[in-house]
């Protein structure tokens, strides 16, 4: 699930923020906050690709001034300039995942921003939320499911066994959508443009999973989500699976930053209330 580079990122970004002496957003002008956020957005993909390479005993690759964001990301990852088709495929994936409502990581970033903390603190908290497999760790798991199924004749038996065991089929179902995730339709189109046996197999699996889930869990509306074809597209573009969630993070840091800047304009703290439902005290508190 990309725990290596993400775990490294939350530590490195926190350290970079401390080394740069980032000040609380509460004490900054809007222009200063924006400057801090832009610096962090530039730093994240550079750190992620460097951490990936260092983890494999390779030297980090310096970013290039002449390459756009997605092409630069792939270049820093592999050390080779990517083919335009691959760069464009990854670019479209990054654009589609840049922001998506008040998901767990965005909400976390906004809560921290509401305390007036610095930009690195806000983003580090958001990365912590993203690192959980229920939020950011699924594109590689969706591909692992394709590997586990192996061949078309095993699709139905595998899905049925998985549902009977109460397991979740990664890449299907969404906490908000009760329809096909619109991002997945776009990513499926990109996958089909890239083509090949993996795409054909993924399409067969998608069709059967939808049919079996409709039969075994009627009315639940469990449809394909962004992660299923995101994994297929990233695999076809040569990204290693440990970098799937970090690549999602390289896009989402821009959305987090926009949310953090918006939240910082309002100096009220986000402070939900809770109701105690634990055991009652054994004896009344004595009166004075």
121 membership: H or E segment, kind and range: helix 119-130
Q: Find all residues with CB under 8 Å of 137, minimum gap 6, and list them.
A: 1, 2, 3, 131, 245
Q: Which of 91, 206, 227, 235 is catalytic?
A: 227
Q: Judge contact between 246 and 161, C-beta under 8 A.
A: no
Enumerate domains of the chain plus CATH numbers: 3-133+242-264 (1.10.580.10), 139-234 (1.10.230.10)
pLDDT of residue 2: 40
pLDDT of residue 161: 85
CA distance 182 to 177: 9
CA distance 36 to 184: 32
CA distance 229 to 89: 12
Q: Judge contact between 245 and 133, C-beta under 8 A.
A: no
pTM: 0.85
Tokens of 5: 């580079």
- 174 part of the active site: yes
- 223 part of the active site: no
List alpha helices for 20-82, DSSP H: 30-55, 69-78
Q: Which of 174, 180, 193, 221 is catalytic?
A: 174
Tokens of 242: 């440990």
Residue 189: helix, strand or coil by DSSP? helix
pLDDT per residue as tens, the chain (288 positions): 345 899 999 999 999 999 999 999 999 999 999 999 999 999 999 999 999 999 999 999 999 999 999 999 999 999 999 999 999 999 999 999 999 899 999 999 999 999 999 999 999 999 999 988 778 766 677 788 888 888 888 888 888 888 788 766 665 654 554 556 778 888 999 999 999 999 999 888 888 888 887 787 776 666 666 678 888 999 999 999 999 999 999 999 999 999 999 999 998 999 999 999 998 888 777 887
């Amino acid at each position: 699930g990309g725990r290596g580079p993400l775990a490294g990122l939350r530590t490195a970004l926190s350290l970079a923020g401390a080394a740069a002496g980032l000040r609380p957003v509460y004490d900054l002008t809007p222009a200063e906050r924006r400057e801090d956020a832009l610096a962090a957005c530039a730093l994240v993909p550079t750190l992620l690709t460097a951490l990936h390479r260092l983890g494999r005993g390779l030297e980090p690759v310096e970013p290039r001034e002449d390459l756009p964001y997605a092409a630069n990301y792939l270049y820093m990852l592999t050390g080779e300039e990517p083919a335009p088709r691959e760069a464009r495929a990854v670019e479209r994936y990054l654009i589609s995942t840049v922001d998506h409502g008040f998901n767990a990581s965005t909400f976390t970033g906004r809560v921290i921003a509401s305390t007036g903390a610095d930009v690195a603190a806000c983003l580090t908290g958001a990365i912590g939320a993203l690192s959980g497999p229920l939020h950011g760790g699924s594109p590689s798991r969706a591909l692992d499911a394709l590997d586990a199924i192996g061949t078309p004749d095993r699709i139905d038996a595998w899905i049925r066994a998985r549902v009977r065991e109460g397991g979740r089929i990664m890449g299907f179902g969404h906490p908000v959508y009760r329809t096909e995730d619109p991002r997945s339709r776009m990513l499926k189109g990109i996958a089909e443009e890239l083509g090949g046996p993996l795409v054909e197999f993924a399409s067969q699996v998608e069709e059967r999973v939808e049919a079996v889930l409709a039969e075994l869990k009627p009315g639940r509306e469990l449809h394909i989500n962004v992660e299923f074809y995101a994994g297929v597209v990233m695999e076809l573009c040569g990204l290693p699976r440990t970098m799937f969630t970090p690549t999602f993070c390289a896009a989402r840091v821009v959305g987090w930053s926009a949310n953090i800047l918006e939240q910082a304009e309002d100096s009220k703290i986000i402070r939900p209330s809770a109701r105690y439902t634990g055991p009652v005290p054994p004896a009344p508190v004595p009166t004075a």
